[in-house]
Structure 1
Amino acid sequence: MDPLLPYGRIGPHAVLLLAACVLGLPGPVAWSQGTAPTTSGDAETAATEIPDDQSGTTTAPPILLEEVPNRAEATTAELATLLPRDSSHRTLERVGGETDLVLKEVETQLAKTRKMLTGRPNVRTLQRSSAELTEMLDHLRSLEEELDGQLDGFGDSFERIDKIAAVWTMTDELAKTKEDADATMLTRIAAVLGEIAQMRSSVVERRNELLSVRDKLVNPSVALAESIEQLQATVEARLAGIFRAEHPPLWSPRIRESLQMEWQTIGPQLLRKRFEERGQVSRKPTHSIGFQIVLFLAIGLTLRWLRQRTRARAEVDNRLRGAQLVFEHPWAMAVLITAFLTIPLDPLAPRSAGLVAAAFIAVATLRIVQRYLPDPLILFTWGLAILYILDRSRDLLDTTPTLSRLVFFAEMFGGLGLLIYLLRPSRIVKLPEERRGHPFFRPLYVAMSLAAGVLTIAILSDLFGWSDLAVLLGDGVLRSGYLGLVVFVLLKVAQGLAMFALVLRPLELVRAISNHRQRVQHWLERGLSVLAAGFWAALVCGQLGLLTPAIEVAKQVLGASVEIGALSVSLSDVVVFAFTVWFSFLLARWVQVLLQEDVFSRVRTSRGVPYAVSNLARYSVICLGFLVGLSAAGVEITKLAVVAGGLGVGIGFGLQNVVNNFVSGLILLFERPIDVGDTIELSDTSGTMKRIGIRASVIRTFDGAEVIVPNGMLISDKVTNWTLSDRRRRIDLNVGVEYGTPAQRVIDLLIDVAKANPKVIGDPEPVAFFENFGDSSLDFKLRAWFDADHATNTHTIHSEIAVAVQQALEDAHIGVPFPQRDLRLISMPPNAESDPNAATDLGAVKPPSDPRDGP
């Protein structure tokens, strides 16, 4: 159906549908199309939607004549919303102007690529050119996507305008068939149809403008895609023959001739042209330069203010010494942070911007890295920075391959010289002992030795004409070193900022962080180190052209799956599930610590509530993470009902004890008959409750042993909790004194001794009373209470009070008797006095003989 027509012809299937509708009505209905008069069935006719046989949609019915004025105003308002907005016009102007600039750059770059392919550039030049063309192609495609989004909006507008036009066209035909329709009504309908036609004309005009710009991007995009494909094919062919000498040796006369020709062609004007190449595109985002300057100033001023703060805080907190080193060069840090954040935003910047940025990054890196490296490494970093600037300036020589080859040869030779200088035993000995004892020193030493060997091979390869092999090896080693130094500085900057953030508000007010700052700092340093290592590896792979192949290989490996019947498990599903569960455990631990340190420590709760709620939150996060991991791995949660049924059968047969202990653990958490830190006694085990787990609990005995007790025993067996209702505990001390001592004097002395002990509490007060008349002494008892939270254990308090009582009795000259027995002899042999052996027979001890007595 022509979209310009209000409606098309009724097809056969539509006729059958209408016939069914007519037959289904309760009375005879007259259907008219054309000029047939309508009767009282007009309401039904107006309420019936006419199906479109070609589009599959339905056309709205004509408007009732009495509703035309109101519907005309509504239609005018709706058409106003379909007008092309000012934002669409601004987008068209911006994209159109940017397209003209980009197309010029694309034409220049394609011409340069064709000229470059006529020679024999090295593999790295081909890869760099391919990357530049890919950036341009991505930029063009982003413009195409933006235009396509605008065109999709116009398509919706066309569809809506056509529907509105169809309704008003049918309304106009209906009004012309009415004898009572006045001229004002017909004029109003004609005006609305004119507005619709004018609106459609405006939309068509704006759509054609968008299509005109969109068509300009088609051919350049195709040309860029073909050039990229050609470059990639050339790179693959060169890599396949990488062990063949594709260039003459450096001592060949052909090298001298080529160098003379290139030296004659090169000059200040050519260098300036290469330096400012792609400058016409960079003039487009002039606001990006201003944004970079503003961002640099803002970061620099902020870091300068932080330097003052760190200096003041480091004087009282030695833990900020490392952060203070980073903030000593705020403007150098600002350069690195600004470059890291903004350089990826302008991929089409001119070469001059790249060289200037390289120089600034090198200087800023040197300023910061000197704070962290010993003196023997300073010269190495200076040499590395100079080689980095030389490497970036080599981009200007991509049209002079021989001269570029010689510069690269000198760059590799300089890098090898720096490594040999650093790896000498005399230089290693000068390193500080803590540096040589660092765990990463040995792997770093081995890596630098391997780098020296690889550079040697690259130099020999370039010397004999294997330029592609030399570029791959030498460029990879050198750029790995450059990027490693920059990433190391960024890591130190990030660690310093994180360390300083831990002592600032609001993190300083978080007790979970302030009470465990050393541990948090350790984990932050480890996490940032891992991220820095991954970032460095990604940058190196990107420089070597291995990032995209590595990603593709990773996708293939992670996409590998094993199918067992209807079950399909891939490695990516397993990795996602494992990572989600690991992260849920980590998050659950942090939630538990946060609740215990920052929430429940600030509110008053009942005994055991913080431990119960924090553990419940921890288990909830773990369970939720497990379910999320299953869902992320592609497992349907609804199918877990089958697993739950299987678990129910297993529980019924073999997991009764496990479920019993699990439910008992929940009872312990919610009912709280035992809390962590309570002193309990269970059958033959007594000690302090250390942890209440989901299946078992841990009791630390007074001997230092840790006893694992199933939770079911703590619920079913008899347990004595010495600190259930409160933390007060009582000690009893029995004291016996000799007869004749005043009892009240002893009672007062015992109470004074108990009150003198700082661990004895005053409520309830200590008491002493006279208990009994013993066989050898007057028996007294002292009772005192102490707080278990502020004392070590009962035995220590008991010993301290007993020693104090003994000292007090001695100072009061009150004796402590020992048991005495009187023996009365009822009868004895007549010769017991003359014969000592007879007394011995009765059980008496024979007295020792006096040496002065004779035999």
Structure 2
Amino acid sequence: MFKISSHIYKTIVFLALLTFPILTIGQILDTEIPNVISDSIKTKTPKVIPLTHIIEGIEVTNKEISSINKKINKDRKITEIDSMFPIYEEFLKIQKEEVNKFIKADPNREKIDNLIIMWEGYGEYLEIWQSEVNEFEERNSRLYETIAPAETTWNLTYDNALEENAPPEILNNIVAIRDSVIKLKEIILKNNNDFLSMESRINVEINEIEEVIEELTSLKDSEVYNLFYQRLEPIWTTSFSKIWERSGTNNIDSVKKSTLGTFDFVKNLKRSLPLFVILVALITLLVLYLKKAFTTYPFTDENADLQHAKDVLTEHYLATIFFITFLLARFYFVPAPKLFLDILTLLSLFSAISLVKPLMYKRFKKLIYFAIFFYVFDSIKTYVWFNAEQYRLYTFIEAALVIVVLFSFTNPYVDTKKMKMGTFGIFLLKLTPLLYVLCGISILANIIGYINLTDLTLKISTRSGVFIILFYSLLIICNAILLSVVHRHFCVQPSFDPELKLLTEKKVLKFNRVTIIIIWGLVFLKMIDQLAPILTYFTDTSSEPYKFGNLSFTPNEVLSFLLVLFISFALTRIISFLINDDQGILRVFKLPKGIPAAISLVIRYLIIGFGIILALSSLGIDLSKFNLMAGALGLGIGFGLQTVISNFVSGLILVFERPILQGDTVEVDNLLGTVNRIGVRSSTITTFDGAEVIVPNNSLISNDLINWTLSDNTKRVEIIVGTSYNSDPNEVLKILYDVAINYEDTLKTPTPQALFVDFGDSSLNFTLRFWVHYENWLQARSDVSIEIYNQFKEEDIEIPFPQRDIHVKNIPEIVSNYKTPPPHDPPDTETNIDDTEIPKVVIPIEHRDPGHDLEVEEKESEANDDQEPNNDNQ
């Protein structure tokens, strides 16, 4: 039976012995040299410093004052903020005037979005300054709390020194150190007042920035930008005489201004750029590590989707690294200028070419370049100001180009639809008529004057292709990453089920596909400016409270509750898959067997515990109301659930002490099998007959448990054999040893042993002992026994039958009728009848006389007992 290991207790005793002298020495030092700072300056209850320690106290206080003086000196960051803020205030004032001109210039929605992003960047910059100033305020407050008690301490010390008639020099030193403390306090208070004033000014500017953003947002949501608002006159009433004139608002949001703003943004990335470089390095290492999974362990699955996912990492890993890097930059550098984001999008598209192009039909490969061209062509409207006539002509040319390109790639459309393509290709081809319709609506709306509708339909027509390329690239990259993780997880194991591996890979890719489609839908809604209204509608709807009795909740709280639980259990499944065994991601640390399973269990139950707490908190439930329930639960545990708790604690002991591990062969309560799972309440043992037995953990802890594979999986096999007295024992021992040592599954260490046991009644008895791996021991005993028989047969070594003596006291008369012994009489049986030799006979039962008494005594020799087969069964 396994019990709790004694090394835990040894560790506790060792730590106790180690801690005791340290505490003792600390107490001795504390009594001999009192810490003046700890007792009188840093504490909130000042104490008088004795005259015998005043000089020491003055030295310590001087050091403390010098240290605080260095800390309160204005940092370079604060100096920079103090000098830059007036310039920034003036800059924002000019930008506010530009906003007023911008609103009067009748911009399109994209220009408004661009300006909103720019002002969000201004606000982010000021919030960073505000945060840094606030950090200095908090630091100064802590320093003030540290030094403030020192003034009272030295006042009390001065009064005490007067009472004890201290020398004038001591009194002067006390006064000097007290004055230094007072001066330091005044400096800290003055700096904090300056910081508060600066923070207040920054906050005023932040509020004004928020007002500007709200004004621009209201403008974008106004009726003027409604899809069916006629912003321009119909084309037949418009004169194009001014089409070659420059726009009167070229000074507003021009290309030059956007470019300079982007350069200024890049220059200010000095603080965040190092961390981004580290993230890129980690991404590179991760991609190379995932790529190694396919080169180290050959990928043999024939599924086309799986092969495409594998090729992304094996053949296009550089493009994968660049794509992930540019995509990460979009979310890392936030908020960023619109031009900076568009440049990152272009770089991502160029990286995606080598990822997507190999999966496209030859006829459509050039379409990806036209998609990039239309994205740039449509984005120009965001940075260049046109007059009304120029804008109409530009959008008309854009729509016409889209129609021409679509026609050139899909004509004839009927024949194109008959091409053998994948599901996704067929889906995109079916969207072609929709693009024709959108371009037609764009041209018609342009003619009538509904320019807002023109902008929206052109945005969908020109940018949908770009978003499809980006998200399809993201899909295949995520597929490749997930496939590499699953492939490595299965291949590092000694054996695995290929069907289970294939099923897991397909499930992972399906889940990833659904996730990417959902994200694509949200981004598409954001592109057409419909995400915010939809979220606002659902937020307002789900925040309506519902009441049942005393319970009040909102749909938003219920959804949050379910979402938190779903994420918690999903994380536990992922962690269980990755680190639940010794072949998981923790194998690089070469941890002892069973430690990864224990780590996995702790992490999973922590996630579930915190998930349940967060889920209940999202419902607005006060957890303090569960105190009464906790008391009742404790009472229930004490009486009715003690078996469950016993099994729970036993499960924790099994996990952390590791007397049995998953995959071990154990024997408990006449149950022999392999440990399939170690749970918190019970464990599953699969017997060699194929049955799965649920064993409570308490039974594994409290009962005698034999673990055949705890420290190693070797087992000694013993074969007992007897030979006739005519055989040579030396030759027999040699044969036994050679058979064992030459068997392929025999372990070389320990070496096999062939031993002569004793002289039996009818045989010379030998035993052969050799070691094999546990899973092979039954087959090994069978194979070696057969080989021993074959070798004995070749060497004419006889394995004798048992010898028996039969004593017959009375023999029936029917014996005289038999002249010869029957053919089945054993050849080695001796018959003695009252010391008179008679023929060897066998008396059939039907000829026996019931009136005579026949007693037969059979005795087996001890050698036969030695030859009884070992009834080990599995």
Q: Give the TM-score of the pair, scaled to structure 2.
A: 0.61
1:576 maps to which residue? 564
Which shifted more, 518-527 or 216-225? Answer: 518-527
Instruction: Indicate whether 1:629 and 2:615 are aligned.
Output: no
Residues 324 and 496 in structure 1, CA contact (< 8 A), matched pair in contact too: no
2:243 maps to which residue? 263
Distance, in Å, in 2 between the alignment partners of 1:719 and 1:133 is 74
Distance, in Å, in 2 between the alignment partners of 1:630 and 1:473 is 46
Structure 2 CA distance for partners of 1:772 and 1:559, relative to 1, 3 Å: farther
- Shift of the alpha carbon at 1:391? 1.6
- Matching residue's letter, 1:388: Y
Deviations 1:424-479 (A, max 9, x none): 66577465xxxx3xxxx35x633652464365255246426466556445523542
Instruction: Indicate whether 1:539 and 2:523 are aligned.
Output: yes
Which shifted more, 313-322 or 618-627? Answer: 313-322
Residues 755 and 767 in structure 2, CA contact (< 8 A), matched pair in contact too: yes
Structure 2 CA distance for partners of 1:734 and 1:204, relative to 1, 3 Å: closer
1:788 maps to which residue? 773
1:803 maps to which residue? 786
Partner secondary structure for residue 263 of structure 1? coil
2:632 maps to which residue? 646
Q: 1:229 aligns with which of 196, 213, 218?
A: 218
Instruction: Indicate whether 1:94 and 2:84 are aligned.
Output: yes
Instruction: Indicate whether 1:459 and 2:440 are aligned.
Output: yes
Partner secondary structure for residue 112 of structure 2? helix
Distance, in Å, in 1 between the alignment partners of 2:286 and 2:597 is 39
Instruction: Indicate whether 1:287 and 2:287 are aligned.
Output: no
Partner secondary structure for residue 767 of structure 1? strand
Distance, in Å, in 1 between the alignment partners of 2:703 and 2:292 is 60
Instruction: Indicate whether 1:827 and 2:814 are aligned.
Output: yes
Deviations 1:326-347 (A, max 9, x none): 35669xx659845862798586
Instruction: Indicate whether 1:449 and 2:436 are aligned.
Output: no
Distance, in Å, in 2 between the alignment partners of 1:304 and 1:680 is 45
Residues 664 and 710 in structure 2, CA contact (< 8 A), matched pair in contact too: yes
Structure 2 CA distance for partners of 1:668 and 1:661, relative to 1, 3 Å: same
Distance, in Å, in 2 between the alignment partners of 1:373 and 1:740 is 84
Distance, in Å, in 2 between the alignment partners of 1:552 and 1:275 is 34
Which shifted more, 99-108 or 715-724? Answer: 715-724
Partner secondary structure for residue 366 of structure 2? helix
Higher-RCO chain (CA-CA 8 Å, sequence separation at least 6): 2
- Shift of the alpha carbon at 1:808? 0.6
Residues 754 and 767 in structure 2, CA contact (< 8 A), matched pair in contact too: yes
Distance, in Å, in 1 between the alignment partners of 2:543 and 2:208 is 36
- Shift of the alpha carbon at 1:248? 7.6
- Shift of the alpha carbon at 1:788? 3.0
- Shift of the alpha carbon at 1:233? 2.0
Distance, in Å, in 2 between the alignment partners of 1:660 and 1:306 is 44
- Matching residue's letter, 2:315: L
- Matching residue's letter, 1:381: I
1:480 maps to which residue? 464
Residues 716 and 769 in structure 2, CA contact (< 8 A), matched pair in contact too: yes
Structure 2 CA distance for partners of 1:783 and 1:648, relative to 1, 3 Å: farther
Deviations 1:279-323 (A, max 9, x none): 564565573699999999999999999999999999888678643
2:9 maps to which residue? none
What's the Cα RMSD here?
6.5
Counterpart mapping for 1:21-420 below 5 A: 87-88=77-78, 90-116=80-106, 125-126=108-109, 128-142=110-124, 222=211, 225-234=214-223, 238-239=226-227, 242=228, 253-254=236-237, 257-258=238-239, 260-261=240-241, 263-265=243-245, 274-278=254-258, 281=261, 284-285=264-265, 287=267, 322-327=312-317, 337=325, 341=329, 345=333, 362-366=349-353, 369-395=356-382, 396=384, 399-400=387-388, 401-410=391-400, 412-414=402-404, 416-417=406-407, 420=410
- Shift of the alpha carbon at 1:234? 1.9
- Matching residue's letter, 1:326: H
Q: Give the TM-score of the pair, scaled to structure 1.
A: 0.62
Structure 2 CA distance for partners of 1:485 and 1:714, relative to 1, 3 Å: same
- Shift of the alpha carbon at 1:213? 9.4
Structure 2 CA distance for partners of 1:316 and 1:587, relative to 1, 3 Å: closer
Distance, in Å, in 2 between the alignment partners of 1:266 and 1:752 is 103
Distance, in Å, in 2 between the alignment partners of 1:270 and 1:816 is 112
Structure 2 CA distance for partners of 1:815 and 1:271, relative to 1, 3 Å: farther
Deviations 1:527-563 (A, max 9, x none): 9877755654443232111332344356457756665
- Matching residue's letter, 2:606: L
Structure 2 CA distance for partners of 1:587 and 1:498, relative to 1, 3 Å: closer
Residues 262 and 403 in structure 1, CA contact (< 8 A), matched pair in contact too: no
Partner secondary structure for residue 265 of structure 1? coil
- Shift of the alpha carbon at 1:800? 0.4
Distance, in Å, in 2 between the alignment partners of 1:667 and 1:85 is 54
Residues 757 and 766 in structure 2, CA contact (< 8 A), matched pair in contact too: yes
Residues 772 and 779 in structure 1, CA contact (< 8 A), matched pair in contact too: yes
- Matching residue's letter, 1:113: I
Deviations 1:736-782 (A, max 9, x none): 667855566545433432333243454562435467446xxx47454
Distance, in Å, in 1 between the alignment partners of 2:562 and 2:130 is 39
Deviations 1:327-380 (A, max 9, x none): 5669xx6598458627985867586x7777666555454355435545344122
Residues 589 and 618 in structure 1, CA contact (< 8 A), matched pair in contact too: no
Distance, in Å, in 2 between the alignment partners of 1:526 and 1:446 is 17
Residues 665 and 673 in structure 2, CA contact (< 8 A), matched pair in contact too: yes
- Matching residue's letter, 1:459: G
Unaligned runs of 5+ in 2: 1-58, 152-175, 300-309, 821-841, 848-874
Structure 2 CA distance for partners of 1:588 and 1:689, relative to 1, 3 Å: closer
Instruction: Indicate whether 1:704 and 2:686 are aligned.
Output: no
Structure 2 CA distance for partners of 1:380 and 1:625, relative to 1, 3 Å: same
Unaligned runs of 5+ in 1: 1-69, 118-124, 168-187, 834-838, 845-855
Residues 666 and 706 in structure 2, CA contact (< 8 A), matched pair in contact too: yes
Which shifted more, 724-733 or 149-158? Answer: 149-158
Distance, in Å, in 2 between the alignment partners of 1:732 and 1:708 is 32
Query: What is the total number of aligned residue pairs between the two structures?
Result: 702
Distance, in Å, in 2 between the alignment partners of 1:721 and 1:655 is 29
Counterpart mapping for 1:541-620 below 5 A: 541-553=525-537, 555-556=539-540, 559=543, 570-571=557-558, 572-584=560-572, 586-587=574-575, 590=578, 592-593=580-581, 598=586, 602=590, 610-611=593-594, 613-620=595-602
Distance, in Å, in 2 between the alignment partners of 1:397 and 1:495 is 42
Residues 358 and 392 in structure 1, CA contact (< 8 A), matched pair in contact too: no
Structure 2 CA distance for partners of 1:95 and 1:490, relative to 1, 3 Å: farther
Structure 2 CA distance for partners of 1:581 and 1:317, relative to 1, 3 Å: closer
Distance, in Å, in 1 between the alignment partners of 2:329 and 2:466 is 18
- Matching residue's letter, 1:131: D
Partner secondary structure for residue 662 of structure 1? helix
Residues 296 and 334 in structure 1, CA contact (< 8 A), matched pair in contact too: no
Distance, in Å, in 1 between the alignment partners of 2:611 and 2:267 is 44
- Matching residue's letter, 2:632: G
